[in-house]
A = this chain, B = another copy of it.
Amino acid sequence: MSIQQNILVAVDAVVFGYMNANLHVLLVKRKGSTFHKEWALVGGFVLDDEPLTTAVKRELKEETGVQLDYLEQLYTFGDTVDRDPRSRVISVAYFGLINSSKIVPIGDTDAMEAKWYPVNELPDLAFDHSAILSAALNRLRAKLTYQPIGFDLLPNEFLFSELEQLYVTLLGKDIDRRNFRKKIMSFGFLEETSLFKQKKSGRPAKLFRFNDLKYRELESKGIYFDL
Report A's interface with B, CB cutoff 8 A.
1, 3, 5-9, 32-34, 45-46, 48-49, 51-53, 73, 75-76, 78-79, 83-84, 88, 90, 92
Contact = CB atoms under 8 A, between A and B. Distances in A.
Contact of A7 (B33, B48, B79): B48
A107 to B, nearest CB: 23
A8 B7 CA distance: 7
A94 to B, nearest CB: 10
Contact of A73 (B6, B8, B45, B76): B76
A52 B33 contact: no
A83 B45 CA distance: 21
A7 B7 CA distance: 8
Copies in the complex: 2
Contacts of A46: 5, 7, 78, 90
Given A9-B7, A48-B6, A48-B7, A1 B79 contact: no
Contacts of A51: 78-79
Contacts of A52: 76, 78-79, 90
A121 B188 CA distance: 39
Contacts of A53: 79
Nearest to A78: B52
B88 A48 contact: yes
5 contacts: A1-B32, A1-B34, A3-B8, A6-B48, A51-B79
Given A73-B75, A73-B76, 12 more contacts: A1-B34, A1-B83, A1-B84, A3-B8, A5-B8, A5-B48, A7-B46, A7-B48, A9-B78, A9-B90, A51-B78, A78-B92
A5 B45 contact: yes
A3 B84 contact: yes
Nearest to A49: B88
A6 B84 CA distance: 16
